[in-house]
Structure 1
Amino acid sequence: MPEKPNSLKQIDFKPSGKIFPSPADWRDQFIYFLLVDRFNSGQPDIPPYHPETTPIGRDDSEGEKWQDGTLKGISDKLDYIRGLGCTAVWLSPIFKNRIELNTYHGYGIQNFLDIDPHFGTVKDLQELVEKAHKMGMYIILDIVLNHTGNNWAYPGGYRYDYCGGQRFSFGFWREVTAGSGIEWPDDAVWPVEFQNPEWYRRKGEIRNWDTFPEARDGDFCSLKELDTSSREVLRALIDIHKYWIAVTDVDGYRLDAVKHLEESSTALFCAAIREYAQYIGKKNFLFFGEIIGDDRFIDQYIGRNARIPGTNERFPSLDAALDFPLWGMLEGVIKGFTNPAELRKRYEGFRELYSDHGRAGEYFVTFIDNHDQIGRSPRARFLHNDPLQRQAVLAIGYLLTSIGIPCLYYGTEQGFDGGGDHDKYIRECMFGGRWGAFNTTGHHFFNPDNSIYKDISRIAEIRGEEPALRYGRQYFREISGNGVDFGYPIDGRSTLAYSRILDSTEILVTMNLDMKPRSDFITIDSSLSPTDKEMVNLLDARSRVKITEVNGRHIVHTDLQPHEIAIFKIIVP
């Protein structure tokens, strides 16, 4: 097999080394998501950021340009990520993009069989995966199935918009040097099989993003939509992604823009890759997807088998989806803008969708910050225009103690607060570069002494020690200010409380959403938490609460400082 294959005929699927096994349950993991271009350049002697002394001021145009983060740079900072408590790293797309465009995000792929030289080499990725595995960590690649980069044009080079499903003529393949003819490796698209105009839908750019079939069949802006309904195209995509598992031993795939694919194509792809992974020894290779929609829409892709049109066959599809419904409400609940009842109602709905709502946590990758905030204007990190950094700890604390596979977007642990009318404002450089956080340049943010970092690390440690926080059922708890009149919280001036229950263990999580200290009585499970016991705060062993009974209700009385989180459990001697 050549070092840099340019055809599917040149690849094979024999693993290049010993296979690292999958985790038994992905709920045991804590994922760290980073943009490769924005995380770490690996350059030595970059000074640390100091809020009092680091100069302010950056060129606004730099946010849309390559910033030179690399795979080697990520390898250099695995200890930093692991120290946070994260055990898996999700990388933004790393395959080669067009050299003449500033698609630093990686989603404009020009060669599916090579690493973008901005990021490094195949060997760099292999070494990153190997180092992560030695540290007991996993690597997840972000992959794109529905489109390629802007590798060809419509006739005349004009923009074509979606128009009633009309299929347009093919124009021409893009060349770095116009008129030179297609040259390897930077012109057109690779592998060479993708240089077939019939492999593309050719229906112009999407104008109405919520209209079907336009949202599925149209081009994603200038990125050209593949015809994934074609078995030939789908087979090629399957072979490409089998190849990358064989070559690098990665542990999972995050599928981009799933709603722009046929449900059956998603299911067939996942089934084929899953079988290959199982065959070589990765028995729990992870697939999770970006699906923008409500719980019922997401349910079409997860938790059950997908039917293949025209047959009686069913195939398992995605293992999980990014939890956009939670993202849409959690920030408002933590900050007091949204009634906590909305959160409770959402989880109650799981009992209708899933036979075992404790296992529903397998189906969601939860987050509070991300790089691509479709439908939100302006784009904003959780802490944008929010000086109350403890609220970020509450939000991440919620992810780590509620159902789901928690995921942290890089920089949140350092209080990044970017926001604005463009994606670039939420894609700051951790290593500083020319587009650092807080309107700075040239100063890094890898500070393990940051209070947010340390608090997240401690909560993640507790999650790792307590099976109930990973697998348990979840119940929101009624509270009372006087110990007599109980009800669920209705605004941000309250304590949010919920229990995770697994077998005979109850863990009570309490969060003061208020800017003032609170003293509340909180309901707990009467069969699991008897009145002759006390519960200990796992975050502060000095904090203990006695279990008492009022009118047949078992309760504890908690005192919480502003925006404090406490995790209570009965400790058996």
Structure 2
Amino acid sequence: MKNELNPLIQRIEPPFWYSGMHNPELQILFYGKNIGEYEITIENSTAITNIKRTENPNFIFVTIDTQNINTNEIDFTFQQKNKKPFTQKYELRKRRKDSALRKSFDASDCIYLLMPDRFANGNPNNQNDSNTSEKYNRDLPGGRHGGDIEGIIQNLDYIKSLGVTAIWSTPLCEDNETEFSYHGYAQSDVYKIDPRFGTNEDYIRLVEKAHQLGLKIIMDYVTNHWGIEHWMVKDSPTNDWIHRFENYTETNHKRSTVSDINASKIDRTICLNGWFVPTMPDLNISNPLVFNYLRQNAIWWIEYANLDGFRVDTYNYSEPEYIAKWTKAITDEYPNFNLVGEITMRNQSLLSYWQKDSAIAKIQNFNSNLPSVMDFALSDALQMVFNEDDDTWDQGITKIYDLLSKDFLFPNINNLLIFGENHDTRRLNHIYNNDIRKYKMAMIMLATLRGIPQLYYGSEIGMAGDQNLGDADIRRDFPGGWENDENNAFHPETRSECQKVYFDFTSKLFHWRKTNEAVHFGKTTHYIPENNVYVYFRYNSNKSVMVIINNNPENQNIDTKRFQENIKNYTTGKEVITNTKFDLSKTISIEGKSGLILELE
């Protein structure tokens, strides 16, 4: 059933809700010309706990207690003096069985990040839409290229064949910017999939088909800002719905001001309240109406689409107290639900401040409630070290060793999202000039270090891109995603020889990772690098994995005696890519710029 809107009501949000939620309180937004001038009643009058009118008469917010409603359909009566009353139906749906206890993503998963506009055009009929401004133009690097939800659905088998277990897509909700709308981060309607990507029903179908293949779906959620074209920016319910300044004020991006005891109030205010860019107004999440709107929208998508997790964009640009409260509201509803926040900070103490139950944040009586953070410090290192042939005090593979030596800062190191690149960073294959040896070392580390590995679409077939040429160059179209593409990398028989080498290695590596619990949740012991060679072990009570990364251009001979505390009674190590067996009582020879993963036996 879908609510049919009375002609006097233009929007209802959430468009429907669910009974049996942990938090029974529901704030319903009604929008229409002067709708705020009406009195509103329902049959069970005690179920309405609050009616909020604002300075904008086109809005009214009605809060109901769903525990006091025993029907799946509510009739709201709108009455205005000397006018005939009218009714509006509102639906309360039944939740899926065990919805609250849904399993989310964790360190046993590997995430595939894609940008839908650049991945595959599965439905050429939705490239343009009469209600959105920017039109299809694949010839324009920063334009809309036509990739869509159908393109993802048609290539789910490809994604699964890579060995990943979850998909993170950049935002799919409507973004009605006049240009650069393809990325989706300037949303104009957060209850509606962008029609150039498909429909809400298409998104549901994507999730269902992904689940049938054992793949999880992670939504990219944006709490900090909307797009300038959002309908509630154009006609705001309250004057403080978004942060406003006398003159346009952009964030200073200094997120350290949040925890800095010496920071000035003005610097902190501009960091948190300044706009991200001129087309992305900053939401005032401290406004209770805004907070409830964002809380409910997030929960609605989880319930409606049957989602498996969130990646939360620009997490620490929002007011800390309220973004922490927003996060807790979600995990109160879904105790196992994982949210990973984009905390674009390279200092590990500042990064760890934002993970749930951080001892550092506790000093300031703060808890973000955020289960997972993105490990940008490790990402930066993975983008440098394999070009550094000399292992000096702070160069070469020692960078990784030094980073892991600070793991004690994090409350849950297994729940860090680890990555070498994403849609905002340089591409690994560009940095390393498509030297597959360096790519393999980076992938080996992502597959075996603590945390949840995330891959970026296309790198697994050797795709590169120069960020100095603009964001569009690191967000190129996936070859084969468009009907007339000369090269189709989605299928083994049409990949180039180079693409096959990249893909086959990546696929074998991450299919192996799925089978080894020691690299999911095991402990780590690592050894100080020597000659730019880094050795570490991932292990639990049943399994042990020895990883050797030779970042030296020259072949190296590894004396295994040094690692006896981890080798223990194991006698051989089987290399997971080649199946070669190594005698652990003897010296191990390893080629320059290469890595070995040995399952100890």
| TM-score, normalised relative to structure 2 | 0.73
Match of 2:530 in 1: 489
Misfit runs of 4+, over 6 Å: 305-309
CA distance in 2, matches of 1:477, 1:385: 26
Q: Which entry has the higher C-alpha Rg, 1 or 2?
A: 2
Helix, strand or coil: the match of 1:342? helix
CA distance in 2, matches of 1:43, 1:506: 47
Identify unmatched segments of 5+ residues in structure 2: 19-92, 125-136, 255-266, 390-394
What is the letter of the counterpart of residue 69 of structure 1?
G
1:243 to 281, 291, 300: 300
Q: 1:404 to 1:258 in 2, by over 3 A?
A: same
Match of 1:360 in 2: 413
Match of 1:325 in 2: 377
What is the letter of the counterpart of residue 490 of structure 2?
F
Match of 2:355 in 1: 302
Equivalence map 1:93-242=2 (5 Å): 93-98=171-176, 100-151=178-229, 188-190=230-232, 194-203=236-245, 204-206=248-250, 208-210=252-254, 211-222=267-278, 223-242=280-299
CA distance in 2, matches of 1:251, 1:273: 12
Match of 2:502 in 1: 452
2:156 to 61, 78, 86: 78
Q: CA deviation at 1:339?
A: 2.7
CA distance in 1, matches of 2:174, 2:350: 32
- 1:437-470 deviations in Å (ceiling 9; x for gaps): xxx9664332546212111121212222221111
Q: Taking CA–CA contacts closer than 8 Å with sequence separation of 6 or more, which of the two structures ends up with the larger relative contact order?
A: 1
Q: CA deviation at 1:297?
A: 1.4
User: What is the aligned-residue identity percentage?
Assistant: 24
CA distance in 2, matches of 1:303, 1:325: 18
CA distance in 1, matches of 2:16, 2:138: 42
Match of 1:502 in 2: 540
Q: 1:209 to 1:307 in 2, by over 3 A?
A: closer
Q: 1:535 to 1:265 in 2, by over 3 A?
A: same
1:414 to 446, 461, 466: 461
Are the aligned partners of 1:476 and 1:498 in contact in 2 as well (CA < 8 Å)?
yes
Are the aligned partners of 2:251 and 2:276 in contact in 1 as well (CA < 8 Å)?
no
Match of 1:2 in 2: 3
Are the aligned partners of 1:257 and 1:289 in contact in 2 as well (CA < 8 Å)?
yes
What is the letter of the counterpart of residue 324 of structure 1?
F
Q: CA deviation at 1:298?
A: 1.8
Q: 1:15 to 1:250 in 2, by over 3 A?
A: farther
CA distance in 1, matches of 2:352, 2:569: 41
- The yes-or-no answer on 1:561 pairing with 2:591 is yes
Q: CA deviation at 1:19?
A: 6.0
- The yes-or-no answer on 1:371 pairing with 2:429 is no
Equivalence map 1:405-444=2 (5 Å): 405-419=452-466, 420-431=468-479, 443-444=487-488
Q: CA deviation at 1:299?
A: 1.8
What is the letter of the counterpart of residue 564 of structure 1?
S
Are the aligned partners of 1:270 and 1:318 in contact in 2 as well (CA < 8 Å)?
yes
Larger displacement relative to structure 2 (95-104 or 521-530): 521-530
Are the aligned partners of 1:289 and 1:318 in contact in 2 as well (CA < 8 Å)?
yes
CA distance in 2, matches of 1:86, 1:24: 15
CA distance in 2, matches of 1:99, 1:247: 26
| TM-score, normalised relative to structure 1 | 0.77
CA distance in 2, matches of 1:207, 1:25: 32
Q: 1:503 to 1:246 in 2, by over 3 A?
A: same
Q: 1:422 to 1:195 in 2, by over 3 A?
A: farther
CA distance in 1, matches of 2:462, 2:541: 37
Match of 2:564 in 1: 526
Q: 1:393 to 1:339 in 2, by over 3 A?
A: closer
CA distance in 2, matches of 1:225, 1:433: 35
Are the aligned partners of 1:330 and 1:395 in contact in 2 as well (CA < 8 Å)?
yes
Match of 1:473 in 2: 523
Match of 2:584 in 1: 546
CA distance in 1, matches of 2:546, 2:94: 45
Q: 1:540 to 1:2 in 2, by over 3 A?
A: same
Helix, strand or coil: the match of 1:339? coil
Are the aligned partners of 1:19 and 1:249 in contact in 2 as well (CA < 8 Å)?
no
Are the aligned partners of 2:172 and 2:193 in contact in 1 as well (CA < 8 Å)?
yes
Are the aligned partners of 1:15 and 1:247 in contact in 2 as well (CA < 8 Å)?
no
Are the aligned partners of 1:31 and 1:408 in contact in 2 as well (CA < 8 Å)?
yes
CA distance in 2, matches of 1:535, 1:459: 16
Q: 1:11 to 1:25 in 2, by over 3 A?
A: closer
Identify unmatched segments of 5+ residues in structure 1: 45-58, 152-187, 278-282, 374-378, 479-487, 548-555
Are the aligned partners of 1:30 and 1:406 in contact in 2 as well (CA < 8 Å)?
yes
C-alpha RMSD of the superposition: 3.1
Are the aligned partners of 2:434 and 2:462 in contact in 1 as well (CA < 8 Å)?
no
Match of 1:12 in 2: 17
What is the letter of the counterpart of residue 190 of structure 2?
F
Q: CA deviation at 1:366?
A: 0.6
Match of 2:27 in 1: none
Q: CA deviation at 1:531?
A: 6.0
Helix, strand or coil: the match of 1:90? strand
Q: 1:316 to 1:146 in 2, by over 3 A?
A: closer
Helix, strand or coil: the match of 2:513? helix
Are the aligned partners of 2:465 and 2:476 in contact in 1 as well (CA < 8 Å)?
yes
CA distance in 2, matches of 1:325, 1:304: 20
Equivalence map 1:373-412=2 (5 Å): 373=425, 379-384=426-431, 386-412=433-459
CA distance in 2, matches of 1:307, 1:323: 17
Match of 1:26 in 2: 106
